[in-house]
Chain A
Amino acid sequence: MTEAVTLKKEEKKKRREGLFSKRYRKYLVDPINDNNPITVQVLGICSALAVTVKLEPAIVMALAVIFVTAFSNLIISFLRDTIPFRIRMIVQLVVIASLVIIVDQVLKAFAYDVSKQLSVFVGLIITNCIVMGRLEAFAMSNSPWPSFLDGMGNGLGYGAILIITGVVRELFGSGTLLGWQIIPPSFYEAGYLNFGLGVMPPAALLIVGTLVWVHRAWNRKLIGVS
């Protein structure tokens, strides 16, 4: 008995890494580039189409997903050894749903206009495959801090794609960015028209598809990855 305890103590000493050791930084940074949830893992596409008509909702949505993924990873990781196998998905859903409801309530209280723009899409974060995907793939079998970093990293990767798509769609679909008129009136007078397709979902499909292609071509490590 005492031998097992001393062995554990030594293991713990060895494993005491810095909070931002190289290995941990990888959890945070990988999902932004090499393992991007949208362009590489191809998860969470749906909301990427809906909320990117303008940039502001895209940013808020990205922040919401970062929060939910990071903290659900953290909570589930703490609970991972206590969750009965048969109800594990239900437990995950309860955690995700609770966090999403909190985000929704906070938005309604502190950013009412944005919450109206996002409407049902905040609630749909519960169904976002990225969140549950990371819980199953990572948080269920890793300790809290790395899980938190992984969740945060995946949220950031998702956010990056969302923001790029939002910029393109708002700029070309409405001529503005964050509400500020970017395309000068002189262009409109010369006959320039906003790309009507930009404010419709198919535009997001085309943009995200192009991003998948560009990302996988530019990042050498992704060539050949399915």
Chain B
Amino acid sequence: MFVKEWLMPKWDKNSTAYSIVYALLLSVVFGGVLAVVASTLKPLQERNIRLEKMSYILRAARLQLSDPHSIEVAYRQYVTEYVFNGMGEELKGVKAFDIVLKKELTKPPQQQRLPVYLFHKQGEEPLVIIPVEGMGLWGPIWGYVALRSDLNTIYGAVFDHKSETPGLGAEINQQWFQERFVGKVFARGGSYCLRVVKPPVFQQDECTVDGLSGATATTLGVDEMLRRCRGIYDKVLKSVAHLLSQSKGSVTLVAGAKNTNGR
């Protein structure tokens, strides 16, 4: 091509110097192009991630929405965010949505920042949604559990994973699996009882959830995740229960609580 005609006679393309310069130039040019593409698309990508998180929280409250606009509108309308530390004390001025639960759990309880999402649709009972996170077979798993006002009965649950086996562990993000948690309870008679059990399940009660056939490790991962996170949120839920009983049916948990979801 034209490039060769004015470049070639001057420089032997198989010389070391040419190779080095060529490689450097190539890296700079392509690196530059990629940097431009990545930074241009970043806002869109981050929005997608935020939308996904919002849609999960809404889905835990059994509100299925797929288009971005309605997700944002519904979230703003129905969800109020709160942050508590591991001791159950409310923290103000902290943005719940951006908290990475996994990181918080490495801190001592006093320093943990644990998000709580209150979902309240006019005329319906408020739901308390907490995030959960754990380990599957191949990678992290996480989700959101919506509790009814007794803070024990599960209204809905959403799970997702990074790299579980397709068709097996990966099915935790499917509705048919998540529906199994509806109506189940965390505790009975004051002690934790919820178990996600490897099939076949002979005992059908409000504490037992059928796991995934052929996905034992992931099933156990979900079981452990729920157990551990429910334990971590224990003091938080006690505080939430206290505040809910105080406000008795009004929307906000605490007078003057800030809706920190970035309006």
Contact = CB atoms under 8 A, between A and B. Distances in A.
Nearest to A111: B48
A109 B33 contact: no
A53 B3 contact: no
Grouping DSSP codes into helix (H, G, I), strand (E, B) and loop, the A interface class, with mixed when no group exceeds half, is helix
A200 B41 contact: no
A102 B44 contact: no
Contacts, number: 74
Interface stretch (B11-19, B94-102, B191-199, B227-235): B11-19
A82 B45 contact: no
A86 B163 contact: no
B27 A94 contact: yes
Nearest to B33: A98
Contact of A87 (B23, B41, B44, B49): B23
Given A53-B166, A86-B19, A81 B1 contact: yes
Contacts of B19: 84, 86-87
A86 B12 CA distance: 13
B48 A109 contact: yes
Interface string A88-118: 0011001100100110011011101000000
Interface in B63-109: none
A102 B22 CA distance: 22
B37 A84 contact: no
Nearest to B43: A109
A84 B19 CA distance: 6
B243 interface: no
Contacts of B167: 53, 173, 196, 199-200
Contacts of B27: 94
A206 interface: no
A108 B18 CA distance: 37
A119 interface: yes
Contacts of B248: none
A94 B30 contact: yes
B212 to A, nearest CB: 13
Contacts of B14: 84-86
B26 interface: yes
Given A81-B8, A82-B7, A108 B22 contact: no
A207 B96 CA distance: 48
A138 interface: no
A83 interface: yes
Nearest to A97: B30
18 contacts: A53-B166, A81-B3, A82-B3, A84-B15, A84-B22, A87-B19, A91-B26, A98-B30, A98-B33, A101-B38, A102-B33, A105-B38, A109-B48, A112-B49, A112-B52, A119-B163, A144-B1, A200-B167
Q: Which 10 A-B pairs have the closest CB atoms?
A: A199-B167, A112-B48, A109-B44, A81-B4, A109-B41, A84-B19, A98-B30, A108-B45, A109-B45, A105-B41
Interface of A: 53, 78-87, 90-91, 94-95, 98, 101-102, 105-106, 108-110, 112, 119, 143-144, 173, 196, 199-200
